[in-house]
Chains A and B, each alone.
Chain A
Amino acid sequence: MFLHEVIIAGFGGQGILSAGRLIAYAGMLDGREVSFFPSYGPEMRGGTANCMVVVSEEPIASPVLNSCTALMVMNNPSLEKFESYIKKGGVLIADSSLVQQKPTRDDIKHFELPATLMASEAGNKAFSNIYLIGKLIKETGIITPESFEKALYGVLSKSKHHLIPQEMEALKAGMEY
């Protein structure tokens, strides 16, 4: 059954919530059922941020996850907090420019890419989350790159549409890493 339950976690300001929203939006365009549940409140302002995204072919029972098929982390505390959530055989994607810690489990698939470094080398630090989404797409097939591009046009305001080709480059680089 097509069911992806993803937790994305890091600091506020890293594009954690927008990554989740984009995946949900793209999933909708792929014709799936989707839900997005963000952390909210004081933790958003400079503290940790996380969100839970479900993309499924069946109606989604709960948007609140106690376990996940994939975890995407952009800082050490997030790895510590959510590592145990990953289902056996599930996927962990870490931004190795920021996450030095290694997972303690050996029953999961662990992938690293220096997303923040790759983004700043490419000239736009704000796209680090996109590299990670690229890797997530490659390893899980949660959404199609085509729908992701459409999601960017749907979610971003018109004044940022000129950046979308760069973001798609970032996605591609993440997928190919």
Chain B
Amino acid sequence: MGERLLMKGNEVIAEAAIRAGCRHYFGYPITPQTEIAHYMAKKMPKVGGVFLQAESEVSAINMVYGAASAGKRVMTSSSSPGISLKQEGISYASGAQLPAVVVNIMRGGPGLGGIQPSQSDYFQATKGGGHGDYRLIVLAPSSVQELYELTVDAFNLADQYRMVAMILGDGVLGQMMEVVNFRDEEPIVDADKSWAACGHGMKREHNTITSIHLDPAVLEQWNQALQKKYKTICEKEQRYELYKTDDADIIIVAYGSVARIAKNVVHVAREEGLKVGLLRPITLWPFPTKAFEQVMDKTRAFLTVEMSSGQMLEDVMLTVSGRKPVYFTGRMGGMIPRVDDIMAKIKEISAG
């Protein structure tokens, strides 16, 4: 076993990135994810990497574009308003098929909003926050240990599929401390990067990294190639956790820190004789439709719980597609759902 440490979520993301071979980090501070930049500023010089605080989020994401073009493992991080600023760059990187990791530790919006935890960037993360027909692989950790493991995975998936992978967390996950077990060695995927623009030494044709294709037929083909890749990912990369769903009459669907509160609800409900389970999406894109098929026939209803007005709710409804009733409860603006409130909703559904 490797090291066992008590660490803050944000610091673990940064440590995981370095362990995954990331040697380029570009960012701009914003609460509640600034500790990622702090950690990178301290550690990157010690491992021969680059930490750079850019003059803005827009600048940082374009630096990511540059490092990724050269075939290097690269990361940027921010929180909601800052991620909005990065959208153009994310679209360009997606268009150019560049691997990179973007971390969003969400806070309440819209606009500058507040600094308390939220999940209201689900649409932005999973439906394309920038322009064009593109997707991000979106990973939603729900513990400090998972922040570590999924950050490492994000780099591997980004390289493997040549696309942007996003870690979608929130202020609770970023700020909390928990025990993390680091592996002695990381499972690093050694992806082919012969496409990278990193100097050809006059020995080969030069590589071009671009997202511009002015001929619509060519651009359509390019898009078709992207869609084919996305389809493969939908088939192969869905991840989820099913918790006490085997006999559950009501299944809560929740991700990230809310899934942890939902787990408490499962315990409380079962103590009161109500059979409640939890379906926790770990990949938000691809959305884990396979998890729903596993439990569809056995359960009576789904209850989606989010720190938003009901964004993932739309994917749940699309997946369930009218086969079972889908309910929703949530809080917004940095308020965190309470066990009691979710229990009240469960009792209402059970009685109905």
Chain A positions within 8 Å of B, measured between CB atoms, are 21, 24-25, 28, 33-38, 40-42, 60-64, 66
- Does A40 lie within 8 Å of B6, measured CB to CB? no
Known A-B contacts A37-B176, A38-B175, A62-B260; A25 and B31 likewise in contact (beta carbons under 8 Å) = no
Partner of B177, one of A36, A41, A42, A61: A36
- Contacting residues, chain B, for A61 (C-beta < 8 A): 260-261, 263-264, 267
- Contact across chains for B178 and A36 when beta carbons are under 8 A apart: yes
A-B contacts, 21 of them at CB < 8 A, read A21-B177, A24-B6, A25-B6, A28-B4, A33-B179, A37-B175, A38-B176, A40-B31, A40-B32, A41-B31, A41-B115, A61-B263, A61-B264, A61-B267, A62-B257, A62-B261, A63-B176, A63-B257, A63-B260, A64-B257, A66-B339
Interface string of B139-178 (1 = CB under 8 A from A): 0000000000000000000000000000000011001111
Q: Is B338 an interface residue, CB under 8 A from the partner?
A: yes
Bound-complex Cα distance A42 to B114 (A): 11
Is A62 a contact of B264 with CB atoms below 8 Å? yes
Nearest chain B CB to A84 CB, angstrom units: 12
Q: Which residue of A lies closest to B178 (CB)?
A: A35
Does B116 interact with chain A (Cβ within 8 Å)? yes
CB of B271 closer than 8 Å to a CB of A: no
Q: Which 10 A-B pairs give the minimum distances between C-beta atoms?
A: A36-B177, A61-B263, A61-B264, A62-B260, A37-B176, A41-B115, A62-B261, A66-B338, A62-B264, A63-B176
Asked if B242 lies at the interface with its beta carbon under 8 angstroms from chain A, I say: no
In Å, the complex CA distance between A21 and B7 comes to 10
Contact yes or no, B179 A64, CB < 8 A: no
* In the complex, chain B residues whose CB is within 8 Å of the CB of A63: 172, 176, 178, 257, 260
Q: Are B178 and A40 in touch, CB under 8 angstroms?
A: no
Contacting residues, chain A, for B260 (C-beta < 8 A): 60-64
What class of interface size applies to chain B in its complex with A?
20 to 34
- Report the minimum CB–CB distance from B155 to chain A (whole Å): 26
B116 and A41 contacting across the interface, CB-CB below 8 Å: yes
A36 and B176 within 8 A (CB):
yes
Chain B CB within 10 Å — which of A33, A37, A38, A42 has the most? A37
With a CB–CB cut-off of 8 A, which chain B residues contact A34? 6, 178-179
A21 and B179 CA atoms in complex are apart in Å by: 12
Most buried by A among B115, B176, B177: B177
Docked CA distance A36–B9 (Å): 10
Q: Which residues of B contact A60 (CB under 8 A)?
A: 178, 260
Chain A residue with Cβ nearest B5: A28
Given A28-B6, A66-B339, verify A40-B177 contact (CB < 8 Å): no
Closest approach, in angstroms, between the C-beta of B132 and any C-beta of chain A? 35
Q: 8 Å CB contacts to A: which residues of B245-268?
A: 257, 260-261, 263-264, 267
